Structure 1
Amino acid sequence: MTVNAVTHLNFRGEARAALTFYQAVFGGTQTVVTYKEAGAVEEPAEADRVIWGQVVSDAGFRVMAFDVPSRRPWHPGEAAFFVSVRGESAGEITAYWEKLVEGATVLQPLAPSVWSPLYGMVTDRFGITWVLDVAGDPAAR
């Protein structure tokens, strides 16, 4: 089993442009899932914003990004990133999840998502927000 820790950048309406820029800089493949595609639209004006996206290059560069929805507070430079832990199996990710949630605030329960067979988000007792998921091919869903 392997696990990757990936920087997960947070924006408000600029995630797609940022991912396009990073792809132009580092090369690789860009994947974007919108709130509409995920069936998670709460504010119609945000339907085409990014709920999950990434750029992955053959050279090893990887970054993820999303647009923080307007219902959640966000200010540039504050909560600008998450730590994303991506594993190969549900068992591996569930084991990490069960340890991280002790004394934590669960923001998104561990469950299947549009881009991953298993995904969850938790802010640990130190105030760090972690995104855990099982690597999957969003195009195959």
Structure 2
Amino acid sequence: MSVKAVTHLNFRGDARAALTFYQSVFGGDVAVVTYKDAGSVQDPSEADQVMWGQVSAGSGLCVMAYDVPSRMPWNPGENAFFVSVRGNGAEEITAYWEKLSDGATVLQPLAAAQWAPLYGMLRDRFGVTWVLDVVGE
């Protein structure tokens, strides 16, 4: 038996756009279940929002997301979490960085660091902070 932790991102109406964007960055498959699909509509204006969604890539990367219903409190917070993507090769990590950088605020440019051949941090256009690095020796 194995257990895997998966980053679950919470949005207010942007989950589908975020999942589509992350799929364009990391590849793989997007799965989405709306509130309407699940028969769980409490506000008709939110029927097509994401109740459960996931990007699952062949590399093993998996990110889940949903749209927090308006009846529930939601605050994106400040530095509440980072999504860390670690790889063994500079080419792969650099390709992810370049795609995630579209519309992002770079917090730490992707460059060599004392602890890693490459390390960088950015806040993407959805407000999610990503840390990307190449695993060091």
- The runs of at least 4 consecutive aligned structure 1 residues that moved more than 6 Å come to none
Higher relative contact order (Cα pairs below 8 Å, separated by 6+ residues): 1
CA offsets per residue over residues 83-110 of structure 1, 9 Å max, x none?
Answer: xxxxxxxxxxxxxxxxxxxxxxxxxxxx
Q: Distance in 1 between matches of 2:38 and 2:3?
A: 25
- Residue aligned with 1:25, SS: helix
Equivalent residue number for residue 46 of structure 1: 46
Q: Shift in Å at residue 4 of structure 1?
A: 1.0
Q: Distance in 2 between matches of 1:56 and 1:2?
A: 17
- Please tell me whether Structure 1 or Structure 2 has the larger radius of gyration of its CA atoms: 2
Give the gaps of 5 or more residues in structure 1. Answer: 82-141
Equivalent residue number for residue 9 of structure 1: 9
Give the gaps of 5 or more residues in structure 2. Answer: 82-137
CA offsets per residue over residues 10-65 of structure 1, 9 Å max, x none?
Answer: 00000000000000000000000000000100000000000000000011110000
Equivalent residue number for residue 19 of structure 2: 19
Q: Shift in Å at residue 76 of structure 1?
A: 2.3
Equivalent residue number for residue 136 of structure 1: none
- The aligned amino acid for 2:42 is E
* Aligned residue pairs, count: 81
Q: Distance in 1 between matches of 2:3 and 2:59?
A: 17
